[in-house]
Amino acid sequence: MADQLSAGIVAGRLSPEELEANFADLHPRLSDHEALVASDRCYFCHDAPCITACPTDIDIPLFIRQIATGTPEAAAKTILSQNILGGMCARVCPTETLCEEACVREAAEGKPVKIGQLQRYATDTLMAAGIHPFSRAAPTGRRIAVVGAGPAGLACAHRLAMKGHDVDILDAREKPGGLNEFGIAAYKTVDGFAQAEVDWLMQIGGITWKPGQMLGRDVTLEALKGAYDAVFLGLGLAGVNALGVEGDDRKGVLDAVDFIADLRQGDLSGLSVGRDVVVIGGGMTAVDAAVQAKLLGALNVTLVYRRSRARMNASVFEQDLAASKGVRIICNAQPVAVHGNGAVREIEFAYVDDDLKETGETVRLAADQVFRAIGQSLEFDGLAMDGRKIAVTGAGRTSMDGVWAGGDCAAGGDDLTVTAVAEGRDAAEDIHATLGAG
């Protein structure tokens, strides 16, 4: 017992076999037969509510009918014409609160059509065949800079390339993908799918990848405006909010996004995790960090959120997934102090009501590792801001002529991959129209 208590934050808590099992594909791809059975349940509604519920407006009944008639490649083109990252969105999109929640089968039977899994089946089939169903229009002679290689930037770049424009994607990292590559739980996107999808997307041509280019460090917005016909900002959100309590800077208090990125890019057996892990936050990042800490072998993992469970940004499915993996969820509690002698040993929370007023009760949780997942922010000079994000109007137009923005860095969205894709796509259409290139 003493050895366990002194083990602290270590790597290799589980065997390679256990890690492989824990991080296996959350929803394996449907077989051909399973896809046909699942597609047969669709009513193919004329005024399908599932389409309205999809941020990218995919014609869901059409693509499911195409699967049902044995043409999954055609189904994939239907999907990808609206959502070029349809493969990743099929894996990570909270379909249970979007298209599947709106499904008529859900209302009638409490069991919706497996829209997300059918979408994955179609897009995976197309990609496995090595097919890229889109081609470039005649060159326009226009060059557009896309800053950020996440879902919004990739979607914008692909649509612009289709229109015949030349696109440079600039990103601070050495690998493209953004959130899809660095910020999503490993069990949702196995076998290097995020990079495979980027490589497939790049087959459109006309897109040049420029890594190691951080806006403000390596290039300025003014310089980009001078060198390109238009600029799209898909920066995401970089700065994680601090806890703002005593001891926040103790060793072992870390950002959840960095933990997830390290997990996605490294060897699972070499990634260190604590014995007693506490994750603070109520969104998808918090759940992904908590679940993966448990899957890495942490003995006790607790997710603490300051509001009620009903107000967590993470879907009920994700909350239930966390609970099923052994994550304890505590709601209506906010941190007041991090205790320890140099390194964190305990974290103290005050219970609060729905208005965040303290009730007078507190609780201390043992912790050798604490992950912050309480939101991110963006600081940007030269553009009008809406709180912690870039203010936009219409299809992503910023306060500066010739500059558009979309995805997590832009105000008004709901921080979902599928929404970022829609915003990047729509901004590309607006850029094309503004340039008068077609």
CATH of domain 143-238+378-435: 3.50.50.60
Computed over every residue of the chain, the mean pLDDT equals 94
DSSP labels, 277-298: EEEE-SSHHHHHHHHHHHHTT-
pLDDT score of 241: 78
Please report how the helices 32-39 and 115-128 are oriented relative to each other, as an axis angle in degrees rounded to 10: 140
CA distances to 21, 230, 330, 331, 363 from 309, rounded to whole Å, are 29, 43, 8, 6, 18
pLDDT score of 303: 98
Please report how the helices 32-39 and 60-68 are oriented relative to each other, as an axis angle in degrees rounded to 10: 130
| Amino acid code (one letter) for 252 | G
Indicate the fold that domain 32-128 takes in CATH.
Fumarate Reductase Iron-sulfur Protein; Chain B, domain 2 (1.10.1060)
Q: State how far the Cα of 389 lies from the Cα of 377, in Å rounded to an integer.
A: 7
Q: What is the pLDDT along the chain (438 residues), one digit of tens a residue?
A: 333 333 489 999 999 999 999 999 999 999 999 999 999 999 999 899 999 999 999 999 999 999 999 999 999 999 999 999 999 999 999 999 999 999 999 999 999 999 999 999 999 999 999 999 999 999 999 999 999 999 999 999 999 999 999 999 999 999 999 999 999 999 999 999 999 999 999 999 999 999 999 998 999 999 999 999 999 999 988 767 788 899 999 999 999 999 999 999 989 999 999 999 999 999 999 999 999 999 999 999 999 999 999 999 999 999 999 999 999 999 999 999 999 998 999 999 999 998 999 999 999 999 999 999 987 777 777 899 998 899 999 999 999 999 999 999 999 877 799 999 999 999 999 999 999 865
Structure-token match 């669709």, residue found: 42
Q: State how far the Cα of 68 lies from the Cα of 114, in Å rounded to an integer.
A: 13
Q: State how far the Cα of 360 lies from the Cα of 376, in Å rounded to an integer.
A: 29
pLDDT score of 437: 60
Q: State how far the Cα of 328 lies from the Cα of 278, in Å rounded to an integer.
A: 9
pLDDT score of 380: 78
pLDDT tens per residue, range 34-60: 999 999 999 999 899 999 999 999 999
Q: State how far the Cα of 202 lies from the Cα of 8, in Å rounded to an integer.
A: 44
Angle at 294 between CA 291 and CA 300, to 5 degrees: 120
**Strand extents, DSSP E, 11-85:** none
CATH of domain 241-372: 3.50.50.60
143-238+378-435 and 241-372: identical CATH topology: yes
pLDDT tens per residue, range 71-92: 999 999 999 999 999 999 999 9
Q: State how far the Cα of 176 lies from the Cα of 179, in Å rounded to an integer.
A: 9
pLDDT score of 381: 79
Kindly list the domain boundaries of the chain, sorted by start residue: 32-128, 143-238+378-435, 241-372
The SS3 assignment for 29 reads coil
pLDDT score of 2: 34
